Structure formats: structure tokens, C-alpha cells
Amino acid sequence: MDRAYIINLGPLEDIAIGQGRCFIVKDTEVAVFRLRDGSVAAIENQCPHRKGPLAEGIIDQQFVVCPLHGHKFDLETGEGEGGECVRVFNTWIEHGNIYMQFSPYVFIDGKITAVTNNN
């Protein structure tokens, strides 16, 4: 079983406050946001509804709005309108760089399940 990875996504200053940016991590698109309070958040970039690029969405301190259809997703839980969800990734800032924990596995109904990018 693969382990979790710690990924250095680069300098915090590369993402403007209130903006998002897409990173490719282990074949997964990840939307990373620099929030207005200076913290960062990371979720799966692709909206499950119409595959919209969430990194291009409008954000506030708690939600991102899909640019294609306006569904909101919680940046902390990944929960979206209509019961659809996106993966959330643990992020932090250290020495001016953004770090993210990435695992190819998630817990679903108490079981470890491999994440695939099959749509």
C-alpha cells in the first residue's frame, strides 16, 4: 500500500490572496486557495457535477463556488450542494512555502479505498 506524501507546492507568495491555483499532484488535479486570513486550503480541482475547474472559482473564507454552475463546496469538509463532495487535503504554511499531505487512499464507510481518476 502506498503511503501518504508530503508535497512542497512552492512559495505562498505565488498565489494572490483570495485566489486559487491548480497543481498536479500524483496525477490528481488539486485546487489550492490562499484565503483572506492568510491561510491556505486545498481540495480536488474538478467539480463532480460538470467537471468545472474549482481553482478558477470565487472563494470566501469557507466556500468555493464552481465557475460553471455556481454550486458551493466547503473548503474544510469538501461537502457540496446536492450531496456531491470533493476530496479535501491537509495543507499548511512553513517557512513561506505551502505544504500539502497527499494520500492515494481515503476512508469510505470505515474502509481504506484506493482513489482512482476514472470518471
Domain 5-114 classified CATH 2.102.10.10?
Answer: yes
* Distance in angstroms (rounded) separating the CA atoms of residues 103 and 115: 9
Say if residue 44's pLDDT is above 50. yes
Is residue 115's pLDDT more than 70?
Answer: no
pLDDT over threshold 60, residue 111 = no
As to burial, measured by CB atoms within 10 angstroms (0-12 exposed, 13-18 middle, 19+ buried), residue 1 is exposed
Q: What is the pLDDT of residue 68?
A: 93
- For the chain, the structural domain boundaries read 5-114
